[in-house]
Structure 1
């Protein structure tokens, strides 16, 4: 055991270790790029041929990666991609960065993790380290992955090493990216933790915190996103109440955040989006049932956040009514399809639910998003229109994503009726009509 560990640590130290990354999405590709930039030879694995071909051509499709970095690393031979998992036999370390969605019953769908692990297990060899980065419920690494790998006859902690280190990617964040975001690492054994922590210390600038087990690392990631989920739900509930009381919730939050301690500002919106905050707490809620515990706060916050797209449409109806118009047959312009500002990611975007409710009530929808030329939802294609060409011919404009490139003054001036769900027009002069906010 000691010889295998020391050999792997030496390879990490002298940069001769070959590294693999399974899943070349928003988490995996930036991680693969950072590993290659640190001087290691990296192989990216993905089942999508298009992604593999783009990487091998030096074509970037992830916003947080500098295009030139990817091209240079590919040309240098430090990074390549493949759909052939047999090349796992050539690597010393594999990071698994695949999606962990919910199924239609809002239960964890670990199929991507299981399939990836089984593909890696076919080529698992002595001295290899496997790190799961996909967010999941506490126990996944030891209860699901470890048995898959040990079916090979190799023993965890002796013949190979296994750890969990949660991804902390925040798409569009200008300050914290993969390179400088602190890491948490928990291995099945102390030796597993040591080699995994060494890996990240050799490629990242952020601090690396070692915890006692994969379960602790898995739980802390769920805590991070549950914290945000619940506090956003509180902000959303305040928005609903403030609307009924005739109080500006945005002004309330601005006033509250002047307190230098004991308060952290969270903001309401048309719903929750992205792959993490809406989904991850439900993993814990599902797992808690195994221990005969009902996670009331998590489930209540999910109810509040899930209601927000419907709340938005209810308010749109009321606004149209003030103009003696019905939502049925109304022309509606939605500004923003991405789940947050200045990115091209529309996974779980609340805009999609807003669209569903609007169309269910007979509205005629057009969408603009400067970062997303087209997207598909429920089998229907939506294409981004030029908002400047259509804004004069719609009945209402809804700001669903507060992209910084939008010309909000012109939007306010030209919109026949405006509903701002993001407080994007906070600093705009309202010289034509009252700006309606969430």
Structure 2
């Protein structure tokens, strides 16, 4: 039976897209080669990292959504979204293996007049130079002539209650103007506003700019945090004052590191591992270095704080609060918590953790004890280290219970804790 849409890759990109489509009344099938993912969805359970609740998955199923490992379903769709994951490889560049597999599976069943949209993170030029040849070789069809090809970089902010799929403008860029319009017509059914880029590369580069903007600005406030601490200046009061400026300033907050899926573009490396001799984005390289230093700095601050209160890091009991990359989510992708934990272990500390979203946690292959009673554990620890501010954490009460509280997120009331 023909369906309107196939979503290839049922993870953090594909599931929200499939949910938005089924909510809009679009007949949707999800394709994923992973048997566990398909089985979990078929049973009404969200797979890990999908970003949906069990109730949302069940509503999708009741609306007609189904997940499958059978690529034959791809021959009966009008639109296909490639949402395969692109995790960082050993060299830090995105691994396009899943994108390649998805493109080949789709290409073998691609029909004329289908609209194909790449949501997976690829470098500028990647849709045309990497994905298009795979589709054409497998199908015998020509992109931009026999089928439409476009790029729509994702803009989801997991956990954001104000901006979701429907009310976040979507950037679309096609191989040809007709490709752009075909993709824009589809996304116009899912989102309130579609922004047409001039072409594929402009759409792809938009994602690069947005991701680098975040990392560069976080790097700036991270370096300001170090400077302010050295000078005895209250950074959080500086930020409070600066954000009152109605123009020329956007508030960012420092933290123990930068997590998440959006990788900044290293100016010295393309995602194929190629080196460039001269790239203008030197600021991005400096931001990468600044943000990469933060876990080491946090561990140093923790040890120094213990020392100031007559305790050595060796043998100290340190409780880590929040080990996910973002508040109120279970996703640990890119979280600085493992590196901070490893550094504290290297100093001889005894670590435990508490996170309502993470029932089990390992560091360097060793399980980390999980605190059952938050307040009792904080009271028993020599140092409580807040790495992620989940809503369940009452920092006023925690500061009263903890012997020492180091807040890396600036979430505690002024004077209630030591802050980054």
1:182-238 Cα shifts (integer Å, max 9, x gaps): 10000111111111100000122x210111211100000110010111010000000
Structure 2 residue 378 is the aligned partner of structure 1 residue 391: yes
Partner of residue 358 from structure 1, selected from 344, 352, 361 = 344
The equivalent residue for 2:101 is: 115
Distance 1:135 1:126 in 2: 25
> In the superposition, relative to structure 1, how do residues 63 and 192 fare at CA in structure 2: closer, same or farther (>3 Å)?
closer
* Alignment partners' CA distance in 1, 2:280 and 2:197: 26
Partner SS, residue 87 of structure 1: helix
Q: Closer, same or farther in 2 for the Cα pair 1:381/1:46, shift >3 Å?
A: farther
- Shift of the alpha carbon at 1:280? 3.3
Residues 398-437 of structure 1 mapped to structure 2, 5 A cutoff = 398-426=385-413, 430=416, 435-437=417-419
Distance, in Å, in 1 between the alignment partners of 2:57 and 2:94 is 33
Gaps of 5+ in 1: 1-15
User: 1:286 matched to which residue of 2?
Assistant: 270
Shift of 1:285: 4.8
Deviations 1:12-71 (A, max 9, x none): xxxx75211111112210110111111121111123222212222222356854644432
Deviation at 1:377, TM superposition (A): 4.6
Q: 2:118, 2:368 → 1: CA distance?
A: 35
Task: Map 1:31-110 onto structure 2 (within 5 A).
Answer: 31-61=17-47, 65=52, 67-76=54-63, 78-110=64-96
Stretch moving more, 142-151 or 118-127: 118-127
- Deviation sequence 1:288-308 (CA, Å, 0-9, x none): 955742521011000000000
1:202 to 189, 196, 200: 189
Describe the shift of the 1:69–1:90 C-alpha distance in structure 2 as closer, same or farther (beyond 3 A). Answer: same
In structure 2, relative to structure 1, the CA distance for the partners of 1:282 and 1:112 (3 Å cut) is farther
Say whether the 8 Å CA contact 1:250–1:423 is kept in structure 2: yes
Q: Structure 1 residue 85: deviation in Å?
A: 1.9
- Asked if 1 retains the 8 angstrom alpha-carbon contact of 2:7 and 2:81, the reply is yes
User: Any stretches of 5+ residues in structure 2 without a counterpart?
Assistant: none
Q: CA contact under 8 A between 2:10 and 2:50: conserved in structure 1?
A: no
Equivalent runs, 1:241-256 vs 2, <5 Å: 241-256=227-242
Greater Cα offset, 354-363 or 218-227: 354-363
Residue 284 of structure 2: aligned partner: 298
Q: Return the alpha-carbon distance in structure 1 between the equivalents of residues 363 and 79 of structure 2.
A: 37
TM-score, normalised to structure 2, is 0.93
CA contact (8 A) 1:63 1:343 kept: no
Q: SS in structure 1 opposite 2:353?
A: strand
State the match for 2:320 in structure 1: 334
Instruction: Check the 8 A contact 2:351/2:369 in 1, yes or no.
Output: no
Match in the other structure for 1:270: 256
Deviation for aligned residue 1:385? 2.1
Q: 2:246 aligns with which of 260, 266, 271?
A: 260
Answer yes or no: is 1:184 the counterpart of 2:166: no
Tell me which residue corresponds to 2:155: 168
Query: How far apart in 1 are the matches of 2:194 and 2:115?
Result: 17
Query: What CA distance in whole angstroms lies between the structure 1 residues aligned with 2:98 and 2:18?
Result: 19
- On the 8 A contact 1:332/1:366 being kept in 2, the answer is yes
Q: Secondary structure at the match of 1:339?
A: coil
Q: Return the offset for 1:375.
A: 3.4
The match for 2:121 among 125, 132, 135 is: 135
Q: Going by fraction, where is helix more abundant, 1 or 2?
A: 1
Q: Hey, what's the Cα distance between the residues in 1 that align with 2:60 and 2:385? A: 42
The 2-side partners of 1:93 and 1:380 are apart by 45
Distance 1:378 1:128, change over 3 A: farther
1:138-164 Cα deviation digits (max 9, x unpaired) = 000001011111113211112111110
Matched residue pairs, number? 414
* Mean Cα deviation higher: 57-66 or 122-131: 57-66
Contact 2:352 2:371 in 1 (8 A): yes
Q: Do the aligned partners of 1:63 and 1:172 also contact (CA within 8 Å) in 2?
A: no
Distance 2:102 2:211 in 1: 24
- Residue of structure 2 equivalent to 1:345: 331
- Give the SS at the match of 2:196: strand
